[in-house]
């Protein structure tokens, strides 16, 4: 290879660069001639085989190949990019009407919260609120929870320090309300709760509850059962069944757990209800007299009931959702179904 051969290669490269009609073709020419394994590299590899008297002209021609081709390729790249941008702008028709996106939908949990508020307002309940970061006193002590109760353990509760935590239930709102008001009281407290639960199809470390409290003279377990059953029929339909099972909670006596029949399988058994036909909603019972004493109420003068229910589980029953994790995956395809 001599200097004249390099000049021929340069002219070929320049001609191909001028003919390149797209940015991809420009890049292909650059790689072919200026790439690590391209023509220019091959030329430089042959430099050592050129006689000494011809190396100067050979090197000059190789340098011209590199410089002139680089300049031309840059010019073609700039020109083609500008042409593509201009073509794209021309394709936009400003006279066409806008393509408006449809309005979003409320999250299914939000829908259940709002529906719960509506139903309980029919029974005379008002909404109360409280902080997500609670004191140990309001979350445990005032609710008659023993110092050695498992729920106080770090394996179950998100402690922030020795005296504050992320509330494990919305029951502390009941304590705050009773400390600030005299009976009669009829409130619900919907809100977010936090527990160190292992996430599965029916459990989450972050979930929502609605707690209820009714305190007055001669409030009975019959009032509790009637109100919970009314709520179930209003929320789930007249065919849903409710069952109450004896249980124990430190803040109620007597205590019950209540379940709704599984809407997904109709009670025949499925993954959501763990093949039982029932979905546990939460607990309830008559307010423990010890709790009344703590907040300054006379347990001889008033009685009351308290209940709590998981709103995600109600949403799962109501909408036929098989896995609680779907509620928090932020998949628009899933959420758009709940318009």
Residue carrying structure tokens 């709790």: 291
List the structure tokens of 210. 């609605």
- Assess contact for 304 and 213: CB atoms under 8 A: yes
List CB contacts of 243: < 8 A, sequence separation 6 or more.
258, 259, 278
Closest CA to 295 of 130, 194, 168, 177: 177
The predicted structure's pLDDT at residue 89: 58
pLDDT digits (tens, 9 = 90+) for 233-274: 999 888 888 999 999 999 999 999 998 887 767 778 887 677
Listed in sequence order, the DSSP H helices in 274-323 are 289-295, 311-319
Q: Domain-by-domain residue ranges, the chain?
A: 3-90, 108-338
Q: Name residue 252's beta-bridge partners.
A: 249, 287
User: pLDDT value at position 165?
Assistant: 94
pLDDT, tens digit (0-9, with 9 covering 90-100), for 32-80: 888 888 887 888 887 777 787 777 887 888 888 888 888 888 888 888 8
Would you call 128 exposed, middle or buried from its count of C-beta atoms within 10 A (0-12, 13-18, 19+)?
buried
Task: Encode pLDDT of 119-168 as tens digits.
Answer: 999 999 999 999 999 999 999 999 999 999 989 998 899 999 888 999 99
- Mean of per-residue pLDDT scores for the chain: 88
Q: State which H helix or E strand residue 33 sits in.
A: helix 23-34
Percent of the chain past pLDDT 90, that is, above it, reads 45
Rounded Cα–Cα distance for residues 269 and 266 (Å): 8
Place of tokens 């006379």: 298
Q: Which residue has the higher pLDDT, 303 or 332?
A: 303
Half-sphere exposure for 3 (CA within 13 Å, toward CB): 13
Find out if CATH 3.30.70.330 is the number for domain 108-338.
no
* pLDDT > 70 in the chain, percent: 97
Cα 202 to Cα 280: distance, rounded to the nearest angstrom = 10
Q: Which residues of 210-244 are buried (b: 16+ CB within 10 A; e: fewer)?
A: bbbbbbeeebeeebbbebbeebbebbbeeebebeb
């Amino acid at each position: 290879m001599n200097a004249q051969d390099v000049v021929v290669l340069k002219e070929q490269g320049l001609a191909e660069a001028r003919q390149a009609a797209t940015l991809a073709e420009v890049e292909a020419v650059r790689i072919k001639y200026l790439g690590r394994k391209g023509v220019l590299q091959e030329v430089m590899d042959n430099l050592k085989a050129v006689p000494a008297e011809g190396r100067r002209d050979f090197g000059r021609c190789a340098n011209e190949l590199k410089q002139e081709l680089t300049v031309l390729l840059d010019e073609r790249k700039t020109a083609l990019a500008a042409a593509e941008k201009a073509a794209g702008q021309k394709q936009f028709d400003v006279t066409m009407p806008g393509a408006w996106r449809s309005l979003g939908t409320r999250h299914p949990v939000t829908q259940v919260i709002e529906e719960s508020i509506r139903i309980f307002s029919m029974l005379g309940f008002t909404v109360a609120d409280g902080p997500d970061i609670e004191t140990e006193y309001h979350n445990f002590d005032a609710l008659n929870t023993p110092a050695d109760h498992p729920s106080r353990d770090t394996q179950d509760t998100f402690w922030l320090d020795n005296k504050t935590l992320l509330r494990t239930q919305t029951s502390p709102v009941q304590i705050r309300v009773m400390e600030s008001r005299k009976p009669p009281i009829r409130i619900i407290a919907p809100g977010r709760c936090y527990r160190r639960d292992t996430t599965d199809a029916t459990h989450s470390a972050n979930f929502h509850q609605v707690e209820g409290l009714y305190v007055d003279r001669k409030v009975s377990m019959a009032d509790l059962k009637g109100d919970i059953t009314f709520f179930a029929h209003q929320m789930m339909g007249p065919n849903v069944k409710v069952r109450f099972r004896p249980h124990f909670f430190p803040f109620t006596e007597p205590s019950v757990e209540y379940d709704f029949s599984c809407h997904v399988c109709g009670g025949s058994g499925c993954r959501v209800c763990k093949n039982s036909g029932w979905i546990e909603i939460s607990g309830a019972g008559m307010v423990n007299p010890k709790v009344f004493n703590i907040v300054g109420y006379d347990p001889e003068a008033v009685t009351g009931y308290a209940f709590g229910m998981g709103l995600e589980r109600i949403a799962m029953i109501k909408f036929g959702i098989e896995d609680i994790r779907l509620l928090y995956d932020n998949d628009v395809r899933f959420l758009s179904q709940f318009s």
